[in-house]
Amino acid sequence: MKKITFLSSVFLLMFLNAFAQEQVEEVTTEDYERATKFLNFSTNSLVDRANVRPTWLDNGRFWYRVNTPAGAEYVLVNSKTGKKKTAASLAELLRKKEQQKQAPEVSRNEVLSPDGKKVVFIKDWNLWLRNLETGNETRLTKDGVENFGYATDNAGWRKSDRPIVLWSPDSKKIATYRQDQRHISDMYLVETKVGAPKLQKWKYPLPEDE
């Protein structure tokens, strides 16, 4: 009787395993395309008032442009008082002289100060400052080491060499953080392009990481 019960259990497990394998669905190209529609680069344009990029003016003021259901909206903010002014065009919002003011050209891996006179960037896991008028560079931190640096932009699912910082309105102070990823797992990605493929490696937190 025990032998019959054992054999029955074996056959049942084999049947369930085969049934489970048949139920596994293959991921198709259409599945990937459908999932891509929900990634940030596909949804940013669908979110109103997102992607604020300020252009600083004199006296602690700045303006930015956002999309709304009614169209583009221009906003002028006084960072000292918190007051805002909105308009449907830049011409309505600013004086002609202020409209012509453009932010200095800086690298995508640098963050410009509100007064437009300096930028901060990451080098050797430390935060540096460069004066745009003189070109002089100053190291702001000294104890940054590999995978334990300052202002690093690496949340796992996204990464860049642009520092994560917050300037004070008077351009005299910077707020940032130091991220310890020395014990985090590595993620690898192979770029597909003509010629030799390029391997990318970065830190990607997994559930078992500390």
Read off the pTM.
0.58
Residue 7 counted as domain residue: no
β 71-78/166-167 pair status: unpaired
Encode pLDDT of 126-138 as tens digits. Answer: 999 999 889 999 9
81 and 119 housed in the same domain: no
- Alpha carbon 30 to chain centroid, angstroms: 27
pLDDT, tens digit, for every residue of 180-199?
Answer: 999 888 888 888 777 778 88
The amino acid at 119? V
Range of the domain at 84: 27-88+95-102
Three-state secondary structure call for residue 17: helix
pLDDT score at 101: 60
- Co-location of 80 and 115 in the same domain: no
Residue ranges of the chain whose pLDDT lies below 70: 1-25, 40-42, 44-45, 96-104, 156
Q: Which two tokens stand for residue 31?
A: 């599945």
